[in-house]
Structure 1
């Protein structure tokens, strides 16, 4: 994550009082709705797939399923993304990919998420179909066309190339920067750095 990561690490290390005040300034109700999250991230006018991906991210962070992200869920999400152990991150990725919640991820679910990520990041380095085929070729040892949590974790950890690809694709540092620094601050930095 480089210099940006260390900046976010420093921000996360600040006392909870600071984080709580920031959270309450951004969301005076003490809760963030899906609409507020999309507004905060400046995600108006995105494709349906990208919108579905943001919905799924929101649902994975809404740990109690009440339709809001509260302060505890907010801090847990930021901590997971910045400092989470590899198993924690892989479990989160799996939950994100498992859109229908059946405990397995199939090729369509994975491809949909990867397309959505590319729509949001505007990075189209690899076609999602190729990425999905590579993952299933290496990880789906039974050839069933779907992966359980255990298969996904052991397969990803057993193939450094897949782990690196997942890590790069699922890097939400830019999202955290927007949340931490605010959309306007980042836009001003972009103008200053140009």
Structure 2
């Protein structure tokens, strides 16, 4: 009876959340409150579902088809796997993909590409992600070196130091850091 905590709605920003977000992002309390106000304006329930997530990407890529890409990105953002992205997950993901240091941003990219969650990116996973990225930006020329499977094979061959035809997180990060062309393709915000 005495252990009941007052429930807060998912639209309220608590002092505890602000402290956590300040500690894990480079945002000030005022910036966090501004991000929160915008998030709640766009997602009055305090949760971003898959459909709305795709709609947001559609605004940024009007000539593309974001559905495939968003399937992978949404899974990466939804860290507690409850089928929606709350404000904390959203802001932490935004920070990691845009404000974090290069290693952090590449780690997020790696986690999105590692669809099987086995700590490795194989040819199939990389091909699926490259296809999704092409769809996102409206790239229709997929011939020659632009063929997603060929491009994935070339990238893996170039970055795979261990020779197992898969990329570990260390190989992915080192490869992207050392090759600006690959980094621009695989982690465009880095």
Equivalent residues of 2:113, 2:129 under 8 A apart? yes
- Structure 1 alignment gaps of length 5 or more: 1-11, 173-194
**Which residue number in structure 2 is paired with residue 157 of structure 1?**
177
For residues 119-134 of structure 1, the aligned pairs below 5 Å read 119-124=135-140, 126-134=146-154
The alignment's C-alpha RMSD in Å is 2.6
The structure, 1 or 2, with the larger RCO (C-alpha pairs under 8 Å, 6+ apart) is: 1
Establish whether residue 102 from structure 1 lines up as the match of residue 118 from structure 2: yes
- Greater percentage in helix: 1
**Which residue number in structure 1 is paired with residue 13 of structure 2?**
none
In structure 1, distance between residues paired with 2:131 and 2:56:
22
Question: How many residues are aligned here?
Answer: 156
Equivalent residues of 2:46, 2:86 under 8 A apart? yes
Computing the radius of gyration over CA atoms, which structure comes out larger, 1 or 2? 2
- Structure 2 alignment gaps of length 5 or more: 1-26
**Which residue number in structure 2 is paired with residue 80 of structure 1?**
96
| TM-score when normalising by structure 1 | 0.70
In structure 1, distance between residues paired with 2:37 and 2:187:
31
Distance 1:67 1:105, change over 3 A: same
Establish whether residue 26 from structure 1 lines up as the match of residue 52 from structure 2: no
In structure 2, distance between residues paired with 1:111 and 1:71:
31
